[in-house]
Amino acid sequence: MNLVSKTLLASLLPLSAWAAPTTYMLDPTHTIPYFAVNHLGMSTVQGHFERTSGNVTLDVAAKTGAIELKVPTATISTGDGKRSDGTRSRDDHLRSADFFNVAEFPEMVFKSTKFNFKGDKPETIEGTLTLLGVSKQVKLAVVGFNCGANPMSKQQMCGADLAGTIKRSDYGMKYGVPAIGDDIKLTIAVEAYKQ
């Protein structure tokens, strides 16, 4: 094999990683769903869920993919958790039947139905979000998609932020609307390692 052929073959090697569907397992410590909601028209309350599990499948050559995220709703955190004087906190309120009703619905799930690519990178993901037992179609923008080796572990990984907006009332979470905003901005930071 001459030098040109070897060079050409070497340049094609990274692309071979995309030639077939590749499964990635979500890194639970770096896959974090964040949300933001307007409070009384005054400011934005921001929060997140502290644990997520799931997996991603990506086939860049075929321009398809799949992602499933499972989020335990009891892990919600808005910076007002346990109080030293024992009084009920905002997070306690959010876990109650007024909002996430974690006792009845301990999990919310996002499951994709379609990946839309722009070039070699996913641009949007369409899927179903199931919250409070209600499933609705949502479309998430894929922001900052990137793949490479983790600089410390050298393990192949991919990551992106998934961004979108939902109306919580569509899922039956109507308490406090409109004083507590109906529109919820979602940003799901996703990092996943190749299996």
Stretch that binds another protein, among 18-26, 96-104, 157-165, 186-194 (CB under 8 A): 96-104
Distance CA 2, CA 82 (A): 68
The reply on whether position 48 binds another protein by CB under 8 A is: no
CA dist 166 → 76, 85, 182 (Å): 17, 35, 8
- Residue 122 · residue 146 · CB < 8 Å: no
Which residues, 6+ apart, have CB-to-CB distance to 120 below 8 Å? 18, 60
Counting contacts by CB under 8 A, is residue 41 touching another protein? no
Calpha distance 175→179 (Å, rounded): 9
Please select the residue that binds another protein; options are 2, 4, 85, 154, rule is CB under 8 A. 85
**Residue 81 binds another protein (CB under 8 A):** no
Residue type, 80: D
Among 10, 11, 43, 86, binds another protein (CB under 8 A): 86
Least Cβ distance, residue 43 to another protein (angstroms):
13
Query: Where does this chain bind another protein (CB under 8 A)?
Result: 39, 85-90, 92-98, 101, 103-104, 106, 132-134, 171-172, 174-176, 178-180
